[in-house]
Structure 1
Amino acid sequence: MFQVSPASSSFSKTEHYEELVAQARALIADETSLIANAANFSSLVFNSLDGLNWAGFYFFDGVELVVGPFQGKPACVRIALGKGVCGTAAQTGTTQVVRDVHEFPGHIACDSASQSEIVVPLFTADGSLIGVWDVDSPNVARFDDEDAKGMEALCRVFVERLAQTGAA
């Protein structure tokens, strides 16, 4: 059985993300189901990083972002492109690192406990929008550039697996 390694203070943040990338790759390597892989990926990240209150996917249905597998409290179900942090990441194609969500114009408060957020847009090799990977924290300034690099590396593993299974 696959085991999640909890956050360890003996690792640097970069080393911890490198370990998570290896764990994510092993966790989803043999599964072809988008839903199963998204669910396990969400659980891995949520249970391996400190200071999170939500981690999950929003998938693009051709019109808007629709909530997918996640860990945390119930979420907003649909988000328009260009709206909130998730919609902005999807529309601009750039990772959004928001130190204080109350300072982000148009922030959508799905959980009032969330204080900071990081959202990574997900694209196929040909540039088609898959959706976004969204992680929230109840702590202001929980995420930084190292987190962005780490989350982007994790998301590459997920997108690569989608491509291998033909789901992307």
Structure 2
Amino acid sequence: MNTKLKSGRYQRIFGQIKKLIEATTSPWSRMSTIAALLHHKMPDYFWTGFYYLDENGDLVVGPYQGPVACLKLKKDTGVCWAGINEERSQVVPDVNKFPGHIACSSLSKSEIVVPFRDKSGKVVAVLDVDSRKLNAFDDTDREELEKIVTLIYE
């Protein structure tokens, strides 16, 4: 999908999410809605969901769409932990070339992880999206998903 079309699609999705989540301030409900909309509206999304830091400091699966996920990610390993530890988005064109990649599904070929903060400014979770295609994500995905996750604690 070209950049202009992709950006337009994300902007429409952003508007849909914003309208839908007005019904509640629950971050769990908002994450569920975001995962569902993105998963069903973006053609290259194979697994779409959230991993959050629990009270023990473990990174565990939250709301998602797609095949069964890893329930808990090995500490400081993989793309999701890189997003948490570096406090910045990770765009991975080929997951097999990412050191320590955690393969919850062998079908995943590329990945994007977007960390987000709670109202106090602390990174509390990541949006994680996998694709069956190599190089499925770029700066347009990163920029638009970074905007979308701000809605969770708005």
The normalised TM-score by structure 2 is 0.92
The normalised TM-score by structure 1 is 0.85
Which residue pairs with 2:62 in the alignment?
68
Query: 90-99 vs 37-46, which deviates more?
Result: 37-46
Contact 2:90 2:114 in 1 (8 A): yes
Identify which of 44, 49, 63 aligns with 2:42.
49
Contact 2:25 2:153 in 1 (8 A): no
Matched, 1:126 2:120: yes
Identify which of 14, 21, 28 aligns with 1:21.
14
Q: Mapping of 1:127-166 within 5 angstroms?
A: 127-160=121-154
Which blocks of at least 5 consecutive residues in structure 1 are unaligned? Answer: 1-7, 161-168
Q: Measure the CA separation in 2 of the matches of 1:97 and 1:43.
A: 21
Runs of 4+ in structure 1 deviating by more than 4 angstroms, as ranges, are none
Identical-residue share of aligned pairs (%) = 38
Matched, 1:36 2:29: yes
Query: What is the Cα deviation at residue 45 of structure 1?
Result: 0.4
What letter matches 1:57 in structure 2?
F
Which blocks of at least 5 consecutive residues in structure 2 are unaligned? Answer: none
- Note the alpha carbon deviations across 1:100-140, whole angstroms, 9 max, x for none: 00010000000110000000001124331221100000000
Contact 1:81 1:88 in 2 (8 A): no
CA RMSD of aligned residues (A): 1.6
- When the two structures are aligned, how many residues end up with a matched partner? 152
Which residue pairs with 1:165 in the alignment?
none
SS across alignment from 2:143? helix
Query: 12-21 vs 145-154, which deviates more?
Result: 12-21
Which residue pairs with 1:109 in the alignment?
103
